[in-house]
Structure 1
Amino acid sequence: MLLQSLRAEFEQEVKSTRKLLEAVPAKDIDFKPSPVSWTMGELAQHIATIYYWYVGTLTKSVYDLTADHIERGAPSDIAATLELFEKNVALARQALASTTEESLQENWTMKAGGQTVLGPMPRGAVARGFLFNHIYHHRGEMIVYLRSTGNKVPGLYGPTYEQSQAQKGG
Protein backbone atom coordinates (compact mmCIF):
# COMPACT_ATOMS: atom_id res chain seq x y z
CA MET A 1 0.00 0.00 0.00
CA LEU A 2 2.80 2.46 0.90
CA LEU A 3 4.70 1.54 -2.24
CA GLN A 4 1.72 2.19 -4.48
CA SER A 5 1.31 5.64 -2.90
CA LEU A 6 5.02 6.43 -3.25
CA ARG A 7 5.02 5.46 -6.92
CA ALA A 8 1.95 7.61 -7.68
CA GLU A 9 3.38 10.58 -5.77
CA PHE A 10 6.72 10.15 -7.52
CA GLU A 11 5.12 10.34 -10.97
CA GLN A 12 3.01 13.37 -10.07
CA GLU A 13 5.89 15.25 -8.49
CA VAL A 14 8.33 14.52 -11.31
CA LYS A 15 6.04 16.60 -13.53
CA SER A 16 6.17 19.50 -11.07
CA THR A 17 9.93 19.28 -10.66
CA ARG A 18 10.36 19.23 -14.43
CA LYS A 19 8.23 22.37 -14.81
CA LEU A 20 10.26 24.13 -12.14
CA LEU A 21 13.64 23.19 -13.62
CA GLU A 22 12.46 24.20 -17.08
CA ALA A 23 11.65 27.64 -15.64
CA VAL A 24 15.28 28.26 -14.64
CA PRO A 25 16.61 30.90 -17.06
CA ALA A 26 20.20 30.78 -18.27
CA LYS A 27 20.50 34.54 -17.70
CA ASP A 28 20.10 34.09 -13.92
CA ILE A 29 21.96 30.80 -13.50
CA ASP A 30 24.67 32.43 -11.35
CA PHE A 31 22.24 34.25 -9.02
CA LYS A 32 22.59 33.46 -5.34
CA PRO A 33 20.59 35.21 -2.62
CA SER A 34 23.44 35.32 -0.11
CA PRO A 35 27.18 34.62 0.04
CA VAL A 36 26.56 31.21 1.66
CA SER A 37 23.82 30.11 -0.75
CA TRP A 38 24.18 27.98 -3.85
CA THR A 39 23.82 29.61 -7.22
CA MET A 40 20.55 28.97 -9.03
CA GLY A 41 22.43 26.53 -11.27
CA GLU A 42 23.93 24.66 -8.33
CA LEU A 43 20.51 24.41 -6.67
CA ALA A 44 18.92 23.12 -9.90
CA GLN A 45 21.69 20.55 -10.25
CA HIS A 46 21.24 19.43 -6.65
CA ILE A 47 17.50 18.91 -7.22
CA ALA A 48 18.28 16.82 -10.31
CA THR A 49 20.91 14.83 -8.37
CA ILE A 50 18.52 13.86 -5.55
CA TYR A 51 16.63 11.69 -8.05
CA TYR A 52 19.81 9.62 -8.45
CA TRP A 53 19.79 8.91 -4.73
CA TYR A 54 16.60 6.88 -5.14
CA VAL A 55 18.80 4.14 -6.62
CA GLY A 56 21.13 3.97 -3.63
CA THR A 57 18.24 4.22 -1.20
CA LEU A 58 16.02 1.59 -2.78
CA THR A 59 18.61 -0.94 -3.97
CA LYS A 60 21.29 -0.92 -1.24
CA SER A 61 21.13 -1.42 2.50
CA VAL A 62 24.07 0.94 3.04
CA TYR A 63 24.61 3.82 0.64
CA ASP A 64 27.85 5.82 0.76
CA LEU A 65 27.33 9.14 -1.00
CA THR A 66 31.03 9.83 -1.36
CA ALA A 67 31.73 6.46 -3.01
CA ASP A 68 29.07 6.99 -5.67
CA HIS A 69 30.06 9.39 -8.44
CA ILE A 70 27.80 10.59 -11.23
CA GLU A 71 28.67 12.85 -14.13
CA ARG A 72 26.75 16.07 -13.60
CA GLY A 73 28.10 18.57 -16.09
CA ALA A 74 28.54 22.24 -15.26
CA PRO A 75 25.97 23.77 -12.89
CA SER A 76 25.97 26.82 -15.16
CA ASP A 77 24.52 24.69 -18.01
CA ILE A 78 20.78 24.34 -17.37
CA ALA A 79 20.40 22.12 -20.44
CA ALA A 80 22.91 19.67 -18.92
CA THR A 81 21.01 19.79 -15.62
CA LEU A 82 17.71 19.03 -17.37
CA GLU A 83 19.41 16.10 -19.11
CA LEU A 84 20.77 14.90 -15.74
CA PHE A 85 17.28 15.21 -14.25
CA GLU A 86 15.67 13.08 -16.99
CA LYS A 87 18.39 10.43 -16.75
CA ASN A 88 18.09 10.26 -12.96
CA VAL A 89 14.29 10.12 -13.07
CA ALA A 90 14.52 7.09 -15.36
CA LEU A 91 16.94 5.40 -12.94
CA ALA A 92 14.75 6.28 -9.95
CA ARG A 93 11.67 4.94 -11.74
CA GLN A 94 13.49 1.61 -12.33
CA ALA A 95 14.50 1.44 -8.67
CA LEU A 96 10.92 2.13 -7.57
CA ALA A 97 9.63 -0.53 -9.95
CA SER A 98 11.93 -3.15 -8.40
CA THR A 99 11.07 -2.20 -4.81
CA THR A 100 8.74 -4.33 -2.70
CA GLU A 101 6.57 -3.49 0.30
CA GLU A 102 8.80 -5.77 2.36
CA SER A 103 11.99 -3.97 1.34
CA LEU A 104 10.49 -0.66 2.50
CA GLN A 105 10.51 -2.09 6.05
CA GLU A 106 14.20 -3.07 5.94
CA ASN A 107 16.73 -0.87 7.71
CA TRP A 108 18.84 1.40 5.56
CA THR A 109 21.87 3.57 6.34
CA MET A 110 23.51 6.50 4.56
CA LYS A 111 27.21 7.09 4.95
CA ALA A 112 29.56 9.79 3.74
CA GLY A 113 33.15 8.69 3.63
CA GLY A 114 32.41 5.76 5.92
CA GLN A 115 30.71 7.92 8.57
CA THR A 116 27.01 7.29 9.21
CA VAL A 117 24.98 10.42 8.46
CA LEU A 118 21.46 8.96 8.38
CA GLY A 119 19.95 5.82 9.83
CA PRO A 120 19.70 3.07 10.36
CA MET A 121 16.00 3.47 9.73
CA PRO A 122 13.33 1.78 7.61
CA ARG A 123 13.88 2.36 3.90
CA GLY A 124 10.28 3.57 3.46
CA ALA A 125 10.82 6.31 6.04
CA VAL A 126 13.99 7.33 4.23
CA ALA A 127 12.21 7.46 0.87
CA ARG A 128 9.46 9.64 2.33
CA GLY A 129 11.51 11.81 4.67
CA PHE A 130 14.82 12.12 2.89
CA LEU A 131 14.06 11.76 -0.81
CA PHE A 132 10.58 13.16 -1.35
CA ASN A 133 10.72 15.87 1.33
CA HIS A 134 14.27 16.83 0.37
CA ILE A 135 13.14 17.55 -3.18
CA TYR A 136 10.15 19.56 -1.96
CA HIS A 137 12.36 21.63 0.33
CA HIS A 138 14.75 22.56 -2.47
CA ARG A 139 11.92 23.22 -4.92
CA GLY A 140 10.63 25.78 -2.42
CA GLU A 141 14.05 27.40 -2.39
CA MET A 142 14.06 27.48 -6.19
CA ILE A 143 10.72 29.28 -6.20
CA VAL A 144 12.25 31.99 -3.99
CA TYR A 145 15.25 32.25 -6.35
CA LEU A 146 12.95 32.61 -9.37
CA ARG A 147 10.80 35.26 -7.72
CA SER A 148 13.86 37.13 -6.44
CA THR A 149 15.14 37.47 -9.99
CA GLY A 150 11.79 38.55 -11.41
CA ASN A 151 11.15 35.29 -13.25
CA LYS A 152 7.83 33.53 -13.61
CA VAL A 153 7.15 30.63 -11.29
CA PRO A 154 5.17 27.74 -12.76
CA GLY A 155 2.09 26.58 -10.92
CA LEU A 156 2.89 23.27 -9.27
CA TYR A 157 -0.36 22.70 -7.37
CA GLY A 158 -2.70 24.96 -9.27
CA PRO A 159 -2.28 28.61 -10.19
CA THR A 160 0.50 30.66 -8.62
CA TYR A 161 -0.32 33.83 -6.72
CA GLU A 162 0.57 35.86 -9.81
CA GLN A 163 -1.64 33.74 -12.05
CA SER A 164 -4.58 34.01 -9.64
CA GLN A 165 -4.19 37.79 -9.46
CA ALA A 166 -4.12 38.03 -13.26
CA GLN A 167 -7.32 35.97 -13.43
CA LYS A 168 -8.97 38.41 -10.99
CA GLY A 169 -7.81 41.33 -13.10
CA GLY A 170 -5.57 42.69 -10.37
Structure 2
Amino acid sequence: MILQYLIGEFELEVNNTRKLLTMVPEKDLGYKPSEISWTMGQLAQHIATIYYWYVGTLTKDVYDMATDSLERGAPDDINATLALFESNVEKARTALKSLTAERLQDNWTMKAGEKVILGPMPRGIVLRGFLFNHIYHHRGELIVYLRATGNKVPGLYGPTYEESRKN
Protein backbone atom coordinates (compact mmCIF):
# COMPACT_ATOMS: atom_id res chain seq x y z
CA MET A 1 0.00 0.00 0.00
CA ILE A 2 2.80 2.45 0.85
CA LEU A 3 4.26 2.01 -2.64
CA GLN A 4 0.94 3.02 -4.20
CA TYR A 5 1.01 6.23 -2.15
CA LEU A 6 4.62 6.95 -3.07
CA ILE A 7 3.93 6.38 -6.77
CA GLY A 8 0.83 8.58 -6.54
CA GLU A 9 2.81 11.38 -4.89
CA PHE A 10 5.58 10.99 -7.46
CA GLU A 11 3.14 11.38 -10.37
CA LEU A 12 1.37 14.37 -8.80
CA GLU A 13 4.64 16.13 -8.08
CA VAL A 14 6.15 15.35 -11.51
CA ASN A 15 3.25 17.31 -12.97
CA ASN A 16 3.89 20.18 -10.54
CA THR A 17 7.60 20.18 -11.37
CA ARG A 18 6.80 20.20 -15.08
CA LYS A 19 4.43 23.18 -14.59
CA LEU A 20 7.17 25.07 -12.79
CA LEU A 21 10.00 24.27 -15.20
CA THR A 22 7.90 25.32 -18.19
CA MET A 23 7.54 28.78 -16.61
CA VAL A 24 11.30 29.40 -16.70
CA PRO A 25 11.98 31.93 -19.47
CA GLU A 26 15.07 31.69 -21.62
CA LYS A 27 15.79 35.40 -21.02
CA ASP A 28 16.29 34.87 -17.27
CA LEU A 29 18.39 31.69 -17.24
CA GLY A 30 21.47 33.68 -16.22
CA TYR A 31 19.77 35.36 -13.23
CA LYS A 32 21.20 34.58 -9.81
CA PRO A 33 20.25 36.32 -6.58
CA SER A 34 23.78 36.38 -5.16
CA GLU A 35 27.37 35.58 -6.10
CA ILE A 36 27.22 32.21 -4.32
CA SER A 37 23.88 31.17 -5.82
CA TRP A 38 23.26 29.07 -8.89
CA THR A 39 21.85 30.74 -11.96
CA MET A 40 18.19 30.10 -12.70
CA GLY A 41 19.30 27.80 -15.50
CA GLN A 42 21.60 25.80 -13.21
CA LEU A 43 18.86 25.50 -10.59
CA ALA A 44 16.30 24.30 -13.15
CA GLN A 45 18.85 21.82 -14.49
CA HIS A 46 19.58 20.54 -10.97
CA ILE A 47 15.88 19.89 -10.40
CA ALA A 48 15.75 17.93 -13.67
CA THR A 49 18.88 16.02 -12.65
CA ILE A 50 17.54 14.88 -9.27
CA TYR A 51 15.08 12.62 -11.09
CA TYR A 52 18.08 10.76 -12.52
CA TRP A 53 19.20 9.87 -8.99
CA TYR A 54 16.09 7.74 -8.47
CA VAL A 55 17.70 4.97 -10.51
CA GLY A 56 20.84 4.72 -8.36
CA THR A 57 18.85 5.15 -5.18
CA LEU A 58 16.15 2.59 -5.92
CA THR A 59 18.11 -0.08 -7.78
CA LYS A 60 21.47 -0.15 -5.97
CA ASP A 61 22.39 -0.59 -2.32
CA VAL A 62 25.46 1.60 -2.77
CA TYR A 63 25.27 4.40 -5.31
CA ASP A 64 28.74 5.64 -6.23
CA MET A 65 28.43 8.98 -7.99
CA ALA A 66 32.08 8.80 -9.03
CA THR A 67 31.37 5.82 -11.29
CA ASP A 68 28.11 7.13 -12.76
CA SER A 69 27.95 9.02 -16.03
CA LEU A 70 25.48 11.81 -15.47
CA GLU A 71 24.26 13.79 -18.46
CA ARG A 72 23.27 17.34 -17.57
CA GLY A 73 22.94 19.23 -20.83
CA ALA A 74 23.33 22.99 -21.08
CA PRO A 75 21.97 25.14 -18.23
CA ASP A 76 21.54 28.03 -20.66
CA ASP A 77 18.99 26.12 -22.77
CA ILE A 78 15.62 25.62 -21.05
CA ASN A 79 14.46 23.28 -23.81
CA ALA A 80 17.45 21.02 -23.14
CA THR A 81 16.60 21.10 -19.42
CA LEU A 82 12.98 20.20 -20.13
CA ALA A 83 14.10 17.30 -22.34
CA LEU A 84 16.50 16.15 -19.60
CA PHE A 85 13.66 16.37 -17.08
CA GLU A 86 11.32 14.24 -19.22
CA SER A 87 14.03 11.65 -19.89
CA ASN A 88 14.98 11.43 -16.22
CA VAL A 89 11.34 11.22 -15.11
CA GLU A 90 10.87 8.13 -17.30
CA LYS A 91 13.95 6.51 -15.76
CA ALA A 92 12.76 7.45 -12.26
CA ARG A 93 9.25 6.11 -12.93
CA THR A 94 10.65 2.77 -14.11
CA ALA A 95 12.91 2.48 -11.05
CA LEU A 96 10.10 3.43 -8.68
CA LYS A 97 7.70 0.90 -10.19
CA SER A 98 10.31 -1.86 -9.82
CA LEU A 99 10.59 -1.22 -6.09
CA THR A 100 9.06 -3.55 -3.47
CA ALA A 101 7.91 -2.69 0.05
CA GLU A 102 10.68 -4.91 1.40
CA ARG A 103 13.35 -2.96 -0.51
CA LEU A 104 12.17 0.24 1.19
CA GLN A 105 13.61 -1.18 4.42
CA ASP A 106 17.04 -2.05 2.97
CA ASN A 107 19.93 0.22 3.88
CA TRP A 108 21.26 2.46 1.14
CA THR A 109 24.46 4.52 0.88
CA MET A 110 25.62 7.24 -1.47
CA LYS A 111 29.35 7.56 -2.10
CA ALA A 112 31.72 9.52 -4.27
CA GLY A 113 34.62 7.13 -4.56
CA GLU A 114 35.64 6.21 -1.02
CA LYS A 115 33.84 9.18 0.58
CA VAL A 116 30.40 8.43 2.05
CA ILE A 117 28.04 11.29 1.21
CA LEU A 118 24.79 9.97 2.67
CA GLY A 119 23.80 6.92 4.68
CA PRO A 120 23.66 4.19 5.36
CA MET A 121 19.95 4.59 5.99
CA PRO A 122 16.72 2.82 4.99
CA ARG A 123 15.90 3.34 1.31
CA GLY A 124 12.34 4.50 2.14
CA ILE A 125 13.75 7.39 4.18
CA VAL A 126 16.13 8.24 1.36
CA LEU A 127 13.28 8.17 -1.16
CA ARG A 128 11.22 10.66 0.85
CA GLY A 129 14.01 12.80 2.31
CA PHE A 130 16.72 12.85 -0.32
CA LEU A 131 14.64 12.55 -3.49
CA PHE A 132 11.10 13.84 -2.95
CA ASN A 133 11.90 16.58 -0.40
CA HIS A 134 15.08 17.60 -2.24
CA ILE A 135 13.04 18.40 -5.32
CA TYR A 136 10.43 20.30 -3.30
CA HIS A 137 13.17 22.37 -1.65
CA HIS A 138 14.71 23.40 -4.95
CA ARG A 139 11.31 24.09 -6.52
CA GLY A 140 10.71 26.58 -3.70
CA GLU A 141 13.99 28.28 -4.57
CA LEU A 142 13.01 28.39 -8.24
CA ILE A 143 9.70 30.03 -7.35
CA VAL A 144 11.63 32.77 -5.53
CA TYR A 145 13.87 33.25 -8.59
CA LEU A 146 10.82 33.51 -10.86
CA ARG A 147 9.12 36.04 -8.60
CA ALA A 148 12.33 38.08 -8.22
CA THR A 149 12.56 38.41 -12.00
CA GLY A 150 8.90 39.39 -12.40
CA ASN A 151 7.83 36.12 -13.98
CA LYS A 152 4.59 34.22 -13.44
CA VAL A 153 4.52 31.35 -10.99
CA PRO A 154 2.10 28.47 -11.52
CA GLY A 155 -0.28 27.39 -8.81
CA LEU A 156 1.00 24.03 -7.59
CA TYR A 157 -1.42 23.32 -4.74
CA GLY A 158 -4.16 25.75 -5.62
CA PRO A 159 -4.26 29.24 -7.05
CA THR A 160 -1.33 31.60 -6.64
CA TYR A 161 -1.79 34.88 -4.81
CA GLU A 162 -2.16 36.68 -8.13
CA GLU A 163 -4.77 34.19 -9.37
CA SER A 164 -6.76 34.45 -6.14
CA ARG A 165 -6.84 38.27 -6.39
CA LYS A 166 -8.59 38.18 -9.79
CA ASN A 167 -11.95 37.34 -8.20
Give the residue type in structure 1 aligned to 2:137. H
CA distance in 1: counterparts of 2:20 and 2:151, whole angstroms: 11
Superposition deviation, residue 72 in structure 1: 1.7
Return the letter of the residue paired with 2:27: K
How many Å apart are 1:157 and its aligned residue? 0.4
Letter of the aligned partner of 1:19 in structure 2?
K
Residue 67 of structure 1 aligns with which residue? 67
2:27 alignment counterpart: 27
Please tell me the root mean square deviation across aligned C-alpha atoms, in Å.
Answer: 0.7
Please identify which structure carries the higher helix content. Answer: 1
User: Which runs of structure 2 are paired with 1:7-26 in the superposition (5 Å)?
Assistant: 7-26=7-26
When the two structures are superposed, what TM-score results if normalisation uses the length of structure 1?
0.96
Residue 129 of structure 1 and its aligned partner are, at CA, apart by 0.5
Which runs of 5 or more structure 1 residues have no equivalent in the other structure? none
Deviates more, 1:10-19 or 1:69-78: 69-78
CA distance, structure 1, for counterparts of residue 71 and residue 155 of structure 2 = 30
CA deviations on 1:81-137 (whole Å, 9 max, x unpaired) are: 000000000000000111000001000001123211111000000000100000000
Residues 112-170 of structure 1 deviation map (CA, whole Å, 9 limit, x = unaligned): 23211111000000000100000000000000000000000000001001111122xxx
Residue aligning to 1:122: 122
In structure 2, what is the equivalent of residue 141 of structure 1?
141
Q: Distance in 2 between matches of 1:5 and 1:112?
A: 31
- What percent of counterpart residues are identical? 72
Q: Distance in 2 between matches of 1:160 and 1:66?
A: 41
Q: What is the TM-score of this pair, normalised by structure 2?
A: 0.98
Equivalent AA in structure 1 for residue 8 of structure 2:
A
The CA distance in 1 between the partners of 2:66 and 2:156, in whole Å, is: 32
Tell me the residue number matched to 1:157. Answer: 157
Paired residue for 1:132? 132
Q: Are 1:53 and 2:62 matched, yes or no?
A: no
Q: Any stretches of 5+ residues in structure 2 without a counterpart? A: none
What is the alpha-carbon distance in structure 1 between the residues aligned to residue 109 and residue 73 of structure 2? 28
Give CA-to-partner distance per residue, 1:64-83, whole Å, 9 cap, x none: 12321222211000000000
Deviations 1:31-84 (A, max 9, x none): 000000000000000000000000000000000123212222110000000000
